[in-house]
Chain A
Protein backbone atom coordinates (compact mmCIF):
# COMPACT_ATOMS: atom_id res chain seq x y z
CA UNK A 1 0.00 0.00 0.00
CA UNK A 2 1.33 3.41 -0.87
CA UNK A 3 1.45 5.94 1.88
CA UNK A 4 1.71 9.53 0.85
CA UNK A 5 3.00 11.66 3.67
CA UNK A 6 4.76 14.91 4.23
CA UNK A 7 8.52 15.04 4.57
CA UNK A 8 8.49 15.97 8.28
CA UNK A 9 5.92 13.66 9.78
CA UNK A 10 6.70 14.42 13.41
CA UNK A 11 6.03 18.12 12.91
CA UNK A 12 2.83 17.39 11.05
CA UNK A 13 1.66 15.01 13.76
CA UNK A 14 2.45 17.58 16.44
CA UNK A 15 0.63 20.26 14.53
CA UNK A 16 -2.38 18.01 14.16
CA UNK A 17 -2.44 17.06 17.84
CA UNK A 18 -2.23 20.69 18.94
CA UNK A 19 -4.82 21.72 16.40
CA UNK A 20 -7.23 19.00 17.45
CA UNK A 21 -6.77 20.01 21.07
CA UNK A 22 -7.63 23.59 20.27
CA UNK A 23 -10.63 22.53 18.18
CA UNK A 24 -11.88 20.33 21.00
CA UNK A 25 -11.45 23.12 23.53
CA UNK A 26 -13.41 25.47 21.32
CA UNK A 27 -16.13 22.85 20.92
CA UNK A 28 -16.49 22.38 24.65
CA UNK A 29 -16.42 26.13 25.20
CA UNK A 30 -19.08 26.81 22.60
CA UNK A 31 -21.23 24.03 24.06
CA UNK A 32 -20.91 25.51 27.52
CA UNK A 33 -21.69 28.99 26.25
CA UNK A 34 -24.63 28.13 24.01
CA UNK A 35 -25.93 24.97 25.59
CA UNK A 36 -25.62 25.81 29.23
CA UNK A 37 -22.92 23.39 30.32
CA UNK A 38 -19.72 21.59 29.42
CA UNK A 39 -21.71 18.37 29.54
CA UNK A 40 -23.63 19.52 26.49
CA UNK A 41 -20.58 19.24 24.21
CA UNK A 42 -21.74 15.91 22.85
CA UNK A 43 -25.16 17.18 21.94
CA UNK A 44 -24.66 20.78 20.88
CA UNK A 45 -25.21 21.14 17.16
CA UNK A 46 -23.56 24.56 17.05
CA UNK A 47 -20.49 23.28 18.86
CA UNK A 48 -20.28 20.32 16.49
CA UNK A 49 -20.40 22.63 13.50
CA UNK A 50 -17.63 24.86 14.80
CA UNK A 51 -15.55 21.80 15.70
CA UNK A 52 -15.95 20.31 12.23
CA UNK A 53 -14.98 23.59 10.57
CA UNK A 54 -11.83 23.83 12.67
CA UNK A 55 -10.96 20.20 11.98
CA UNK A 56 -11.40 20.82 8.29
CA UNK A 57 -9.09 23.80 8.56
CA UNK A 58 -6.47 21.56 10.20
CA UNK A 59 -6.80 18.88 7.58
CA UNK A 60 -7.83 20.26 4.29
CA UNK A 61 -4.54 21.22 2.70
CA UNK A 62 -2.31 18.29 3.54
CA UNK A 63 -5.24 15.90 3.43
CA UNK A 64 -5.96 16.66 -0.18
CA UNK A 65 -3.46 14.11 -1.32
CA UNK A 66 -4.06 11.84 1.65
CA UNK A 67 -7.66 11.50 0.63
CA UNK A 68 -7.10 10.79 -2.97
CA UNK A 69 -3.39 10.25 -3.45
CA UNK A 70 -3.33 6.48 -3.39
CA UNK A 71 -6.52 6.39 -5.39
CA UNK A 72 -4.96 8.72 -7.93
CA UNK A 73 -1.92 6.46 -8.17
CA UNK A 74 -4.15 3.43 -8.63
CA UNK A 75 -6.19 5.24 -11.23
CA UNK A 76 -3.06 6.15 -13.12
CA UNK A 77 -1.89 2.56 -13.06
CA UNK A 78 -5.19 1.22 -14.33
CA UNK A 79 -5.86 3.99 -16.78
CA UNK A 80 -9.21 4.79 -15.15
CA UNK A 81 -10.56 8.24 -14.28
CA UNK A 82 -9.88 9.32 -10.71
CA UNK A 83 -13.51 9.83 -9.81
CA UNK A 84 -14.37 6.30 -10.90
CA UNK A 85 -11.51 4.90 -8.87
CA UNK A 86 -12.73 6.77 -5.79
CA UNK A 87 -16.31 5.66 -6.27
CA UNK A 88 -15.47 2.05 -6.96
CA UNK A 89 -12.98 1.83 -4.10
CA UNK A 90 -13.33 4.26 -1.27
CA UNK A 91 -17.06 4.78 -1.24
CA UNK A 92 -17.91 1.14 -1.77
CA UNK A 93 -15.55 0.01 0.97
CA UNK A 94 -16.84 2.79 3.18
CA UNK A 95 -20.49 1.86 2.80
CA UNK A 96 -19.71 -1.77 3.54
CA UNK A 97 -17.52 -0.82 6.50
CA UNK A 98 -20.16 1.47 7.92
CA UNK A 99 -22.83 -1.16 7.48
CA UNK A 100 -20.77 -3.60 9.52
CA UNK A 101 -20.60 -1.10 12.39
CA UNK A 102 -24.35 -0.52 12.26
CA UNK A 103 -25.09 -4.24 12.25
CA UNK A 104 -22.74 -4.87 15.16
CA UNK A 105 -24.37 -2.08 17.16
CA UNK A 106 -27.82 -3.46 16.36
CA UNK A 107 -27.19 -7.09 17.24
CA UNK A 108 -24.92 -6.72 20.25
CA UNK A 109 -26.36 -5.96 23.70
CA UNK A 110 -27.08 -2.35 24.44
CA UNK A 111 -29.06 -0.53 27.05
CA UNK A 112 -32.82 -0.41 26.50
CA UNK A 113 -32.83 2.97 28.21
CA UNK A 114 -33.04 6.16 26.21
CA UNK A 115 -30.05 8.15 27.33
CA UNK A 116 -29.28 10.22 24.24
CA UNK A 117 -31.44 12.78 22.49
CA UNK A 118 -32.87 11.53 19.23
CA UNK A 119 -32.94 13.85 16.22
CA UNK A 120 -36.51 14.41 15.14
CA UNK A 121 -38.66 16.77 13.15
CA UNK A 122 -36.86 19.61 11.44
CA UNK A 123 -33.65 18.85 13.32
CA UNK A 124 -33.14 15.65 11.32
CA UNK A 125 -31.95 17.60 8.29
CA UNK A 126 -29.54 19.74 10.32
CA UNK A 127 -28.36 16.69 12.19
CA UNK A 128 -27.78 14.72 8.99
CA UNK A 129 -25.69 17.46 7.41
CA UNK A 130 -23.69 18.02 10.59
CA UNK A 131 -23.06 14.31 11.15
CA UNK A 132 -21.62 13.99 7.68
CA UNK A 133 -19.64 17.21 8.10
CA UNK A 134 -18.13 16.17 11.43
CA UNK A 135 -17.44 12.61 10.33
CA UNK A 136 -15.63 13.68 7.17
CA UNK A 137 -13.66 16.35 8.99
CA UNK A 138 -12.59 13.92 11.72
CA UNK A 139 -11.54 11.33 9.18
CA UNK A 140 -9.56 13.86 7.14
CA UNK A 141 -7.59 14.61 10.30
CA UNK A 142 -7.26 11.19 11.93
CA UNK A 143 -7.22 8.72 9.04
CA UNK A 144 -5.83 11.35 6.67
CA UNK A 145 -3.15 13.73 7.86
CA UNK A 146 -2.27 12.06 11.17
CA UNK A 147 -2.36 8.55 9.72
CA UNK A 148 0.01 9.48 6.92
CA UNK A 149 2.40 11.25 9.25
CA UNK A 150 2.61 8.38 11.74
CA UNK A 151 2.73 5.75 8.99
CA UNK A 152 5.66 7.52 7.45
CA UNK A 153 7.51 7.51 10.75
CA UNK A 154 6.50 4.18 12.26
CA UNK A 155 4.47 2.10 9.82
CA UNK A 156 0.80 1.58 9.09
CA UNK A 157 0.00 -0.55 12.14
CA UNK A 158 1.38 2.13 14.43
CA UNK A 159 -0.58 4.71 12.48
CA UNK A 160 -3.75 2.68 12.88
CA UNK A 161 -3.20 2.38 16.63
CA UNK A 162 -2.17 5.97 17.29
CA UNK A 163 -5.03 7.38 15.27
CA UNK A 164 -7.53 5.09 17.03
CA UNK A 165 -6.35 6.25 20.44
CA UNK A 166 -6.37 9.91 19.41
CA UNK A 167 -9.84 9.49 17.91
CA UNK A 168 -11.11 7.95 21.14
CA UNK A 169 -9.54 10.55 23.41
CA UNK A 170 -11.18 13.35 21.45
CA UNK A 171 -14.56 11.82 22.23
CA UNK A 172 -14.01 11.54 25.99
CA UNK A 173 -15.14 15.12 26.79
CA UNK A 174 -18.26 14.46 24.76
CA UNK A 175 -19.32 11.02 25.91
CA UNK A 176 -17.26 10.24 29.00
CA UNK A 177 -14.61 7.66 29.73
CA UNK A 178 -17.04 4.80 29.34
CA UNK A 179 -17.02 5.39 25.60
CA UNK A 180 -13.22 5.11 25.31
CA UNK A 181 -12.90 1.34 24.65
CA UNK A 182 -15.64 1.37 22.04
CA UNK A 183 -14.21 4.39 20.29
CA UNK A 184 -10.72 2.87 20.23
CA UNK A 185 -12.18 -0.27 18.69
CA UNK A 186 -14.06 1.71 16.06
CA UNK A 187 -10.91 3.72 15.39
CA UNK A 188 -9.01 0.52 14.64
CA UNK A 189 -11.78 -0.58 12.30
CA UNK A 190 -11.73 2.75 10.47
CA UNK A 191 -7.95 2.55 10.28
CA UNK A 192 -8.31 -0.86 8.68
CA UNK A 193 -10.61 0.66 6.07
CA UNK A 194 -8.00 3.34 5.42
CA UNK A 195 -5.35 0.66 4.92
CA UNK A 196 -7.61 -1.44 2.71
CA UNK A 197 -8.79 1.34 0.44
CA UNK A 198 -5.64 3.42 0.34
CA UNK A 199 -7.49 6.68 0.98
CA UNK A 200 -9.55 8.53 3.54
CA UNK A 201 -12.78 8.36 1.55
CA UNK A 202 -13.60 4.86 2.84
CA UNK A 203 -13.33 5.64 6.57
CA UNK A 204 -15.11 8.95 6.01
CA UNK A 205 -18.05 7.24 4.35
CA UNK A 206 -18.05 4.42 6.92
CA UNK A 207 -17.99 6.91 9.80
CA UNK A 208 -20.89 8.82 8.26
CA UNK A 209 -22.92 5.68 7.63
CA UNK A 210 -22.29 4.44 11.17
CA UNK A 211 -23.35 7.75 12.68
CA UNK A 212 -26.48 7.83 10.54
CA UNK A 213 -27.32 4.42 11.95
CA UNK A 214 -27.60 6.03 15.36
CA UNK A 215 -30.85 7.59 14.21
CA UNK A 216 -32.43 4.15 14.20
CA UNK A 217 -30.71 2.85 17.31
CA UNK A 218 -30.91 5.67 19.85
Chain B
Protein backbone atom coordinates (compact mmCIF):
# COMPACT_ATOMS: atom_id res chain seq x y z
CA UNK B 1 0.00 0.00 0.00
CA UNK B 2 1.41 3.36 -0.98
CA UNK B 3 2.02 6.15 1.50
CA UNK B 4 -0.60 8.30 -0.17
CA UNK B 5 -3.23 5.59 0.08
CA UNK B 6 -2.42 5.05 3.75
CA UNK B 7 -2.86 8.75 4.40
CA UNK B 8 -6.16 8.80 2.53
CA UNK B 9 -7.51 5.81 4.42
CA UNK B 10 -6.45 7.41 7.70
CA UNK B 11 -8.35 10.57 6.82
CA UNK B 12 -11.40 8.56 5.82
CA UNK B 13 -11.36 6.60 9.06
CA UNK B 14 -11.03 9.81 11.05
CA UNK B 15 -13.84 11.40 9.06
CA UNK B 16 -16.17 8.45 9.64
CA UNK B 17 -15.44 8.44 13.37
CA UNK B 18 -16.06 12.18 13.56
CA UNK B 19 -19.38 11.83 11.73
CA UNK B 20 -20.50 9.17 14.19
CA UNK B 21 -19.31 11.24 17.16
CA UNK B 22 -21.00 14.41 15.88
CA UNK B 23 -24.27 12.57 15.36
CA UNK B 24 -24.19 10.94 18.77
CA UNK B 25 -23.07 14.09 20.56
CA UNK B 26 -26.00 16.20 19.50
CA UNK B 27 -26.27 16.64 15.79
CA UNK B 28 -29.82 15.37 15.83
CA UNK B 29 -31.33 18.63 14.72
CA UNK B 30 -28.59 19.43 12.26
CA UNK B 31 -29.55 19.15 8.61
CA UNK B 32 -29.97 15.49 7.72
CA UNK B 33 -27.23 15.59 5.14
CA UNK B 34 -25.53 18.93 5.18
CA UNK B 35 -27.39 20.74 2.36
CA UNK B 36 -31.08 20.19 2.64
CA UNK B 37 -32.21 23.45 1.15
CA UNK B 38 -35.69 23.43 -0.22
CA UNK B 39 -38.33 26.08 -0.22
CA UNK B 40 -40.74 25.90 2.67
CA UNK B 41 -44.44 26.12 1.98
CA UNK B 42 -45.95 29.51 2.61
CA UNK B 43 -47.32 29.77 6.13
CA UNK B 44 -51.01 28.97 6.27
CA UNK B 45 -52.99 31.31 8.48
CA UNK B 46 -56.25 30.45 10.18
CA UNK B 47 -57.42 33.95 9.33
CA UNK B 48 -55.35 34.93 6.29
CA UNK B 49 -54.84 38.53 5.38
CA UNK B 50 -54.26 39.90 1.89
CA UNK B 51 -51.59 37.89 0.12
CA UNK B 52 -51.47 35.25 2.81
CA UNK B 53 -52.29 31.54 2.46
CA UNK B 54 -55.13 30.01 4.42
CA UNK B 55 -56.47 26.59 5.38
CA UNK B 56 -53.91 25.38 7.91
CA UNK B 57 -54.11 21.65 8.50
CA UNK B 58 -54.91 19.73 11.65
CA UNK B 59 -53.42 16.41 12.74
CA UNK B 60 -55.00 13.57 14.64
CA UNK B 61 -53.90 10.07 15.52
CA UNK B 62 -55.55 7.38 17.60
CA UNK B 63 -53.33 4.90 19.41
CA UNK B 64 -54.65 1.62 20.86
CA UNK B 65 -54.11 1.19 24.59
CA UNK B 66 -53.87 -2.26 26.11
CA UNK B 67 -52.68 -1.32 29.55
CA UNK B 68 -49.07 -1.05 28.52
CA UNK B 69 -47.26 2.16 27.66
CA UNK B 70 -48.02 3.31 24.15
CA UNK B 71 -44.37 4.16 23.48
CA UNK B 72 -43.04 7.25 21.79
CA UNK B 73 -45.48 9.15 19.61
CA UNK B 74 -44.98 11.94 17.13
CA UNK B 75 -47.61 13.94 15.34
CA UNK B 76 -47.29 16.79 12.87
CA UNK B 77 -49.57 18.94 10.78
CA UNK B 78 -49.44 18.53 7.04
CA UNK B 79 -47.53 21.58 5.89
CA UNK B 80 -43.95 21.42 4.60
CA UNK B 81 -42.34 21.69 7.06
CA UNK B 82 -45.14 21.21 9.58
CA UNK B 83 -46.46 24.28 11.36
CA UNK B 84 -47.12 22.37 14.58
CA UNK B 85 -45.68 19.14 15.94
CA UNK B 86 -45.59 17.18 19.16
CA UNK B 87 -43.04 14.63 20.30
CA UNK B 88 -44.13 12.41 23.18
CA UNK B 89 -41.49 10.18 24.68
CA UNK B 90 -42.14 6.71 26.00
CA UNK B 91 -43.83 6.48 29.40
CA UNK B 92 -44.84 10.16 29.36
CA UNK B 93 -48.61 9.83 29.70
CA UNK B 94 -50.86 8.83 32.58
CA UNK B 95 -53.71 7.04 30.80
CA UNK B 96 -56.86 6.35 32.83
CA UNK B 97 -57.64 2.72 33.48
CA UNK B 98 -60.45 1.40 31.36
CA UNK B 99 -59.32 3.27 28.28
CA UNK B 100 -58.87 1.30 25.09
CA UNK B 101 -57.33 4.04 23.02
CA UNK B 102 -56.07 7.57 23.18
CA UNK B 103 -56.38 10.29 20.58
CA UNK B 104 -53.69 12.90 20.10
CA UNK B 105 -54.67 15.98 18.15
CA UNK B 106 -53.27 19.31 17.01
CA UNK B 107 -55.80 21.84 15.77
CA UNK B 108 -55.43 25.50 14.73
CA UNK B 109 -57.77 27.61 16.86
CA UNK B 110 -58.57 31.23 17.52
CA UNK B 111 -56.12 32.84 19.89
CA UNK B 112 -57.76 33.12 23.31
CA UNK B 113 -57.90 36.49 24.99
CA UNK B 114 -56.20 38.28 26.59
CA UNK B 115 -53.43 38.43 24.05
CA UNK B 116 -49.85 37.79 25.19
CA UNK B 117 -48.65 41.01 26.90
CA UNK B 118 -45.05 40.76 25.81
CA UNK B 119 -45.28 40.13 22.11
CA UNK B 120 -47.45 39.17 19.19
CA UNK B 121 -48.59 35.73 18.16
CA UNK B 122 -46.55 34.71 15.13
CA UNK B 123 -48.82 32.56 13.03
CA UNK B 124 -51.62 30.47 14.45
CA UNK B 125 -52.49 29.29 17.92
CA UNK B 126 -52.74 25.49 18.08
CA UNK B 127 -54.72 23.38 20.52
CA UNK B 128 -52.66 20.38 21.62
CA UNK B 129 -54.86 17.71 23.15
CA UNK B 130 -54.66 14.10 24.30
CA UNK B 131 -57.92 12.36 25.20
CA UNK B 132 -58.91 8.80 26.02
CA UNK B 133 -61.87 7.02 24.49
CA UNK B 134 -63.56 7.07 27.90
CA UNK B 135 -63.61 10.83 27.89
CA UNK B 136 -61.28 11.04 30.87
CA UNK B 137 -58.26 13.30 30.64
CA UNK B 138 -54.85 11.97 29.77
CA UNK B 139 -52.23 13.80 31.80
CA UNK B 140 -48.48 14.07 31.37
CA UNK B 141 -45.98 12.85 33.93
CA UNK B 142 -44.16 15.76 35.59
CA UNK B 143 -40.81 14.09 35.07
CA UNK B 144 -41.47 13.25 31.39
CA UNK B 145 -42.15 16.46 29.49
CA UNK B 146 -43.24 16.36 25.89
CA UNK B 147 -41.86 18.58 23.16
CA UNK B 148 -44.13 20.88 21.24
CA UNK B 149 -42.77 22.47 18.11
CA UNK B 150 -44.16 25.49 16.32
CA UNK B 151 -43.18 27.08 13.04
CA UNK B 152 -43.74 30.79 12.56
CA UNK B 153 -44.26 32.66 9.31
CA UNK B 154 -41.22 33.56 7.24
CA UNK B 155 -39.02 36.02 9.06
CA UNK B 156 -39.77 34.81 12.58
CA UNK B 157 -36.21 35.06 13.78
CA UNK B 158 -37.09 35.15 17.47
CA UNK B 159 -39.91 33.54 19.33
CA UNK B 160 -41.07 32.00 22.58
CA UNK B 161 -43.48 29.12 22.80
CA UNK B 162 -46.24 30.15 25.20
CA UNK B 163 -49.10 28.14 26.67
CA UNK B 164 -52.46 29.59 27.67
CA UNK B 165 -53.42 28.38 31.14
CA UNK B 166 -57.01 29.61 30.96
CA UNK B 167 -56.31 33.13 32.16
CA UNK B 168 -52.87 34.13 30.86
CA UNK B 169 -50.07 33.10 28.55
CA UNK B 170 -47.15 31.30 30.17
CA UNK B 171 -43.77 31.49 28.41
CA UNK B 172 -41.89 28.22 28.10
CA UNK B 173 -38.17 27.71 27.80
CA UNK B 174 -37.77 27.76 24.03
CA UNK B 175 -35.01 26.76 21.67
CA UNK B 176 -34.70 27.10 17.90
CA UNK B 177 -34.46 23.64 16.41
CA UNK B 178 -32.48 24.15 13.26
CA UNK B 179 -35.02 24.71 10.56
CA UNK B 180 -35.96 28.29 9.69
CA UNK B 181 -38.63 29.90 11.89
CA UNK B 182 -39.07 26.73 13.96
CA UNK B 183 -38.96 26.66 17.75
CA UNK B 184 -39.53 23.99 20.38
CA UNK B 185 -40.32 23.83 24.08
CA UNK B 186 -40.70 21.03 26.59
CA UNK B 187 -43.82 21.05 28.72
CA UNK B 188 -45.89 18.90 31.02
CA UNK B 189 -49.10 20.81 30.27
CA UNK B 190 -50.98 20.88 26.98
CA UNK B 191 -53.65 23.19 25.66
CA UNK B 192 -53.55 26.29 23.52
CA UNK B 193 -49.99 27.02 22.41
CA UNK B 194 -48.58 29.77 20.25
CA UNK B 195 -45.27 31.12 19.10
CA UNK B 196 -44.96 34.64 20.47
CA UNK B 197 -42.48 36.99 18.82
CA UNK B 198 -41.19 40.28 20.22
CA UNK B 199 -43.09 43.17 18.63
CA UNK B 200 -40.02 44.45 16.81
CA UNK B 201 -39.29 40.96 15.45
CA UNK B 202 -42.80 40.23 14.29
CA UNK B 203 -42.71 38.76 10.80
CA UNK B 204 -44.05 40.76 7.94
CA UNK B 205 -45.06 39.71 4.49
CA UNK B 206 -41.80 39.68 2.49
CA UNK B 207 -41.68 42.63 0.12
CA UNK B 208 -40.90 40.28 -2.74
CA UNK B 209 -43.71 37.85 -1.91
CA UNK B 210 -45.87 37.36 -4.93
CA UNK B 211 -42.94 37.96 -7.27
CA UNK B 212 -42.02 34.45 -8.43
CA UNK B 213 -40.61 35.89 -11.63
CA UNK B 214 -37.79 37.33 -9.56
CA UNK B 215 -36.54 33.86 -8.72
CA UNK B 216 -36.42 32.98 -12.40
CA UNK B 217 -34.55 36.19 -13.19
CA UNK B 218 -31.97 35.37 -10.52
CA UNK B 219 -31.74 31.75 -11.63
CA UNK B 220 -31.26 32.91 -15.22
CA UNK B 221 -28.53 35.28 -14.14
CA UNK B 222 -26.82 32.45 -12.28
CA UNK B 223 -26.89 30.25 -15.35
CA UNK B 224 -25.60 33.11 -17.50
CA UNK B 225 -22.71 33.76 -15.09
CA UNK B 226 -21.82 30.09 -15.06
CA UNK B 227 -21.94 29.76 -18.82
CA UNK B 228 -19.85 32.89 -19.25
CA UNK B 229 -17.20 31.68 -16.83
CA UNK B 230 -17.02 28.26 -18.45
CA UNK B 231 -16.77 29.80 -21.91
CA UNK B 232 -14.14 32.26 -20.78
CA UNK B 233 -12.19 29.50 -19.09
CA UNK B 234 -12.26 27.29 -22.16
CA UNK B 235 -10.98 30.07 -24.39
CA UNK B 236 -8.21 31.15 -22.02
CA UNK B 237 -6.94 27.76 -20.94
CA UNK B 238 -3.13 27.64 -21.11
CA UNK B 239 -1.89 25.78 -24.15
CA UNK B 240 0.07 23.26 -22.05
CA UNK B 241 -3.12 22.01 -20.39
CA UNK B 242 -5.15 21.33 -23.50
What residues make up the interface of A, taking CB atoms closer than 8 Å to B?
A: 1, 30, 33-40, 42-46, 48-50, 52-54, 56-57, 60-61, 64-65, 97, 100-102, 104-105, 108-120, 123, 127, 130-131, 134-135, 156-157, 160, 171, 174-176, 178-179, 181-193, 195-196, 207, 210-211, 213-214, 217-218
Minimum C-beta distance from B240 to chain A (A): 10
Is there an interface contact between B15 and A186, defined as CB atoms closer than 8 Å? yes
B143 touches A (CB below 8 Å): no
Query: When chains A and B are docked, how far (Å) is the Cα of A60 from the Cα of B34?
Result: 23
Minimum C-beta distance from B234 to chain A (A): 9
Is there an interface contact between A175 and B178, defined as CB atoms closer than 8 Å? yes
Query: When chains A and B are docked, how far (Å) is the Cα of A191 from the Cα of B18?
Result: 13
13 example contacts (A-B, Cβ-Cβ < 8 A) are as follows: A36-B209, A42-B36, A42-B37, A43-B39, A114-B85, A116-B31, A175-B30, A179-B27, A181-B27, A184-B18, A189-B11, A189-B15, A207-B35
What residues make up the interface of B, taking CB atoms closer than 8 Å to A?
A: 2, 4-5, 7-16, 18-41, 72, 74, 76, 80-82, 85, 87, 147, 149, 154-155, 157, 176-182, 184, 203-209, 214-215, 218-219, 221-223, 225-226, 229-230, 233, 236-237, 241
User: CB within 8 A of A43: which of B28, B176, B180?
Assistant: B180
CB contacts (< 8 Å) of B20 on chain A: these are 104, 108
Is there an interface contact between A195 and B11, defined as CB atoms closer than 8 Å? yes
Is there an interface contact between B178 and A192, defined as CB atoms closer than 8 Å? no
Query: When chains A and B are docked, how far (Å) is the Cα of A186 from the Cα of B12?
Result: 10
Known A43-B40, A115-B81; judge A214-B35 contact (CB<8 A).
Answer: yes
Query: When chains A and B are docked, how far (Å) is the Cα of A190 from the Cα of B15?
Result: 8
Secondary structure of the A contact surface, majority rule = helix
User: CB within 8 A of B34: which of A37, A64, A157, A210?
Assistant: A210
Is there an interface contact between B157 and A37, defined as CB atoms closer than 8 Å? yes
User: CB within 8 A of B23: which of A50, A108, A192?
Assistant: A108
Is there an interface contact between A196 and B8, defined as CB atoms closer than 8 Å? yes
- What 3 A-B pairs come out closest when comparing CB atoms? A36-B206, A189-B15, A1-B4
Is there an interface contact between B218 and A37, defined as CB atoms closer than 8 Å? no
Query: When chains A and B are docked, how far (Å) is the Cα of A213 from the Cα of B184?
Result: 26
Q: A44-B39, A108-B23 are in contact. List 14 more A-B contacts (CB 8 A).
A: A35-B206, A39-B180, A42-B31, A44-B37, A52-B226, A111-B29, A113-B29, A171-B35, A181-B21, A182-B27, A186-B34, A213-B33, A214-B34, A214-B35
